Structure 1
C-alpha cells in the first residue's frame, strides 16, 4: 500500500511541477467554478484556482509526501495498523491540496478543518497520556483559527460571495474587509503557531516521526503562512506592523529556546517555529514572493532533517535525548552526511537551498527603511539558528557516545535511506533552481561591503558560539540556580505552555470542583434528590407502620374520636 501511494503522489508531483512551469512562463491562470447552493442571492461556489504558485506548492507537498510515505514503510514496520496510518497521512495531504487550490473561503475552511481533524488523529496515534494531551492542545488551539475563519465567512456575506480573490484587492481598507482580514490573521497565527499560540507545535512532536516530517515541513504549520500569502494584498499597515512584531518575537523566542533543549525532535520543532517567524516577518514587510520562496526551500531541508532524526531515533531504540547520542558519524555515516547537509542548509551556508532564500531575505531587510530593533532581532535570530544547529551537530555527531555499549546502530535501513536520498538532491540544488524560476528578473541588492558580509559574520559567530558552549555539556547550567532557572525559562518557550494550558485550565477546573462540592453535592443535593428520597422513605415507613398495625391503630383512632366527641358535647 505504501508503494501505491508513493508512486501516485510522485507522479502527480512531477505533473504538477511541469504544469506550474508552463503557467509561470506563459503567466497563465485557470479558475474552475461549480455552484453548490444559492441562498438569498448569495451563492456558495466550489472553486479551484490553478496558477503557478498553487501548482508549484502542490508539487512540493506531493513530492515530500511521497518520500515520507516511502520512508514510513520501514519506520512503521511491525505496526499492525500501518495501512490505517498511510490512509491518515494521505487524507492529511489531500486536505492540504484542497486548501492550496481554493480561492474560496468556504472550501479553504474544509481543507483547514480537515488538517486540524486529521492532525489530531495522527498526534494521538501512539495512544498514551502524553499523546492525548498533545493532541488535545493541538486541536483546541487550532479551533481558535477555525472559529475565526467561520466568522470571516459570515463577514464575507456582505459581498454576496465567498471568492476572496475577487474582493481582496478591490475592497482593501473597507470596514468589512478589515474585519475579515483581522480574523484571517488570527487564523493564520494559530495554525502557524505564532506567539501566543506557540505551545502546541513542540507538543505535536508526540506524533510518529514521518508525520512530524510532513507536518513541520510543508503541510499543517505552513498553511497559515500560505493563507496570508494569498491574502497579502488586503493587509493594512497596522496588520503588517502587528504581524512583523509577532513574527520576529516568535523567531527569537524559538531560536533562544532551541539552545536550551535536549530533545532531538523538539529542537527541530523549535527550528521550524523560528523559520515560520522569519516567513511571517518578511511577509509583513510586503515581500510575499520571498516568503513563498523560503516556504518552499524550508520544506525541503526540514523534511530531510526530520527523516534523519527519525532514522537516528529508530536506531537508538526510540531514545530522543541528544545527551545519549554522540559519535554517530562513525556508525551511521550516510544518515549523518544527510543530517549535516540539511542542517547547513538551515543555517544558510552558501550555495545550499536555505542560503538562497535566507540570504536574500536578510539583504532585502537590510535595504529596507526599518527600525533598529527589528533589524537586530532578525540578525540575532539568524545567529541563534546557527548556534543551536552546531550545538546539535556537536552532541549528535562529534561528542562522546553515551548510549548502551551493546547496540545495533547502523545504516542498514535501506528503505529509509532511499526515502531520504530522494530529497538530498533538492536540498542541495533546489534553492538555486527555484531562484531562477521565481525571480527571472533578479533582485538588485545594493549594500555597503560591511553590511553585505554581516550575514556571513553572524553565521560564523553563531557556529563558533554553539560549538564552544556545547563543550561545557550540561554541568555549566547546573552550577547556579539562576542559570538553571534561565535554562528552564527559555526551554519552556518563555513559560508559554503555562499560559496556554495551565493558565486556561487551572481556574475553570478549580471553580468547577468547588461548584461540584457546593452545588452538586451541597445545597442542590440536600434540597433536591437526596432530600426527596429521605422524605419519601420516612413517609413510606409511616405508611408501612400503619399497614402492619392496622387493628391497633383502628382502636386507637376510635378511642381518640370518642374522646373528642365527648369533649365537644359537654363543652
Structure 2
C-alpha cells in the first residue's frame, strides 16, 4: 500500500510536468485564458469564480508543484518518526493549494482567500513543534502578516469604486487615478509584509521554528514569494513615486539581510536571511521596470533555495538537531554528497557562471548597471552581491572545513536514500534550468552595452566576497570576544539592525499594555457593571416579575376585583 507521501509526490510531479509543457505551449503561441464560472445567481446578484491562466501562471505553478513533490518525498524520511506525519503532509498540501489559488486569481477577493490561507497554514506549521519558542515565532509571523491582510481588505473596499474587483482589466486605464494610487499603496504594504521587507523583516528568521521541509517550501516558492508575485501582477499600475519608494526599501532590505547573515550562527537563519536578500533583489529590479526579470529570478531562486534548505535539513538531522554552525566542521569527510549539493547551491546563489543563479542574477545586475541611477543605488547593489558571496563562503568555512566540533559519539552519516534521491532530483534543475528558462522567456536576447570595468564589476565583488567571507570567519573565531566594537557591531547586525525590538517588541508592548488597562477598567469594570451585567440583571428582574403575573393571573384577577369593590364601597360611603 502506498503511503500518503508517495501518493502526493506522484500527483504533484505529474501535475508539474503537465503544467510546464502547457506553459511552453502558451508562451509559444502568446496565449491567455480567462475562465468565469458562475457559482450562484439570485435575481440580479451573481457570484462568479474567475481563473486567469497565462505562461507566467503556468510556469510558477509547475515550479511550486515540483518543489512540493520533492518536499513531500523528503518529509517521508525527515518526519518519519513523527506520529502525526499524515497531518503534516495534509497541511503542506493545504499550503500548496492556497498558493495555487493565489497564483490563478485575477480578482482581489479570490487573491485574499489564497493570501489568508497561506497566512493561516503557515501559522499552524510554524507552531508544529509545540514549545514556547515555536509559539512566539508563530504569533510574530501571524501578527506581522495580519497587517498585510488588513491592507488587502482596505484595497478591496476601495476598489468598489471601480464596480469590479477584477484588477487586470483596468490597471493601465486608471494608472493616474487618485483612488487607484491609494489602492496601490495598500497593495504595496500587503506585499511588503508578506515578502518581509523593512520594517516587517523580523518575522522571517523567526519562522525558522517550523520543520525544515516546510522552510524549504516557504522560502523557495510559496509564502514569501507571494508578495513579489502580487507586485509583478500590479506592476503596470505603479506610479514613478511608488517605484522609487520600493527601490529604496528593497535595497535597504537586501543590504541589511546580507550584512546580518555574516554575523549569524544559526544555519537555518543564515539561509533565511539569504532569502530576504534575494527578495530585495527581485523587488529592486521590479521597481526599475523589469517585472519579467524579477519573475525569472523568482523561478531560478526557488530551485536552489529549496535544495539549500534540504541540504541544511540533512546536516541538522545528522547532528541530532544541532543548528549552530560553530559546532559543525569537517562535514565533507562524513557527508560528501550533501556537501557537494550544498556547494552547488551556494555557488548558484553567488552567481557563478553557467549555473541557474548566474543567468538571472548577472542579468539583473547588468540591466541595473545600464540604467541612469545614482551612485548610492549602484554601490548598495554591488555591495549586496558581495555580501551574498561573503556569508556563503563563511558557512562553507565553518561547516565543511577543519575538524569536527560536535560530540565524539555522533551519528554523522547520509544513509537516507529517500532524502538523497529528492535532493539529487532537484540539483539537475539547479544546474540547467537557468539557461533553459532564459532561452524560453527571452527569445530575443537583451543587448547589454557596458564598459569593461562595469562588466567585470560582478566578478570583482564575487572574488572580494570570497576573501572577506574567509577572513570574517577567521576573525570572528579568534577575536570577536576581545574586540568589543566588533562584538557590538556583530550583535547589532545579527539582530537585523535591532528591528525585532523596534518593529515587534517595541510596537507590541503599548497595545498589549493599553489592552490590559481597557480590559481591567472597562470590560471587567464599570462598563461591565453598567453594561452587560447590569442589563442582564435588570432584564432578569423584569422577566421574573412578568413571569409572576403570568403564573398567577386568576389570583391577580380576583385581587383586582376586590380592590375595585373596595374602591366602589369607599366612593359610595363618601
Call closer, same or farther: CA 1:469–1:156 in 2, change over 3 Å: same
Q: What is residue 63 of structure 1 aligned with on the other side?
A: 66
Instruction: Kindly provide the CA deviation profile for residues 499-557 of structure 1, in whole angstroms up to 9, marking residues without a partner as x.
Output: 222112222344455667778999999999xxxxxxxxxxxxxxxxxxxxxxxxxxxxx
CA distance in 2, matches of 1:137, 1:201: 9
The two structures have a TM-score, normalised by structure 2, of 0.89
Aligned partner of residue 321 in structure 2, secondary structure: coil
Quote how far apart the aligned CAs of 1:400 are. 2.6
Call closer, same or farther: CA 1:527–1:225 in 2, change over 3 Å: closer
Quote how far apart the aligned CAs of 1:157 are. 1.1
Q: What is residue 100 of structure 2 aligned with on the other side?
A: 97
Call closer, same or farther: CA 1:433–1:522 in 2, change over 3 Å: closer
Instruction: Kindly provide the CA deviation profile for residues 30-77 of structure 1, in whole angstroms up to 9, marking residues without a partner as x.
Output: 110123467997855311111100000100000000000000000001
CA distance in 1, matches of 2:159, 2:523: 44
Q: What is residue 239 of structure 1 aligned with on the other side?
A: 242
1:5 aligns with 2:11: no
Q: What is residue 217 of structure 2 aligned with on the other side?
A: 214
Q: Is this contact kept in 2: 1:42–1:161, CA < 8 A?
A: no
Query: CA RMSD of the aligned region, Å?
Result: 2.0
CA distance in 1, matches of 2:90, 2:441: 33
Q: Is this contact kept in 1: 2:23–2:56, CA < 8 A?
A: yes
CA distance in 2, matches of 1:395, 1:479: 20
CA distance in 2, matches of 1:183, 1:169: 18
Q: What is residue 162 of structure 1 aligned with on the other side?
A: 165
Q: Is this contact kept in 2: 1:44–1:162, CA < 8 A?
A: no
Aligned partner of residue 46 in structure 1, secondary structure: strand
CA distance in 2, matches of 1:335, 1:409: 12
Q: Is this contact kept in 1: 2:61–2:103, CA < 8 A?
A: yes
CA distance in 2, matches of 1:143, 1:514: 23
Q: Is this contact kept in 2: 1:45–1:104, CA < 8 A?
A: no
Quote how far apart the aligned CAs of 1:472 are. 2.9
CA distance in 2, matches of 1:503, 1:148: 21
CA distance in 2, matches of 1:519, 1:355: 60
Q: What is residue 114 of structure 2 aligned with on the other side?
A: 111
Q: What is residue 264 of structure 1 aligned with on the other side?
A: 267
CA distance in 1, matches of 2:347, 2:44: 55
Aligned partner of residue 161 in structure 1, secondary structure: coil
Q: What is residue 49 of structure 2 aligned with on the other side?
A: 46
Q: What is residue 548 of structure 1 aligned with on the other side?
A: none
Q: Is this contact kept in 1: 2:320–2:411, CA < 8 A?
A: no
Map 1:404-553; keep pairs closer than 5 Å.
Answer: 404-512=407-515
CA distance in 2, matches of 1:159, 1:522: 45
| Equivalent of residue 230 in structure 2, options 223, 227, 230 | 227
1:363 aligns with 2:366: yes
1:339 aligns with 2:342: yes
| Equivalent of residue 146 in structure 1, options 141, 149, 156 | 149
Quote how far apart the aligned CAs of 1:156 are. 1.4
Q: Is this contact kept in 2: 1:54–1:101, CA < 8 A?
A: yes
Quote how far apart the aligned CAs of 1:469 are. 1.8
CA distance in 1, matches of 2:519, 2:100: 46
Aligned partner of residue 223 in structure 2, secondary structure: coil
Q: What is residue 283 of structure 2 aligned with on the other side?
A: 280
CA distance in 2, matches of 1:481, 1:142: 36
| Structure 1 unaligned regions, length at least 5 | 529-571
CA distance in 2, matches of 1:285, 1:44: 38
CA distance in 1, matches of 2:15, 2:193: 30
CA distance in 1, matches of 2:142, 2:522: 31
Aligned partner of residue 222 in structure 2, secondary structure: coil
Call closer, same or farther: CA 1:275–1:38 in 2, change over 3 Å: farther
Call closer, same or farther: CA 1:41–1:250 in 2, change over 3 Å: farther
Greater Cα offset, 494-503 or 269-278? 494-503
1:309 aligns with 2:312: yes
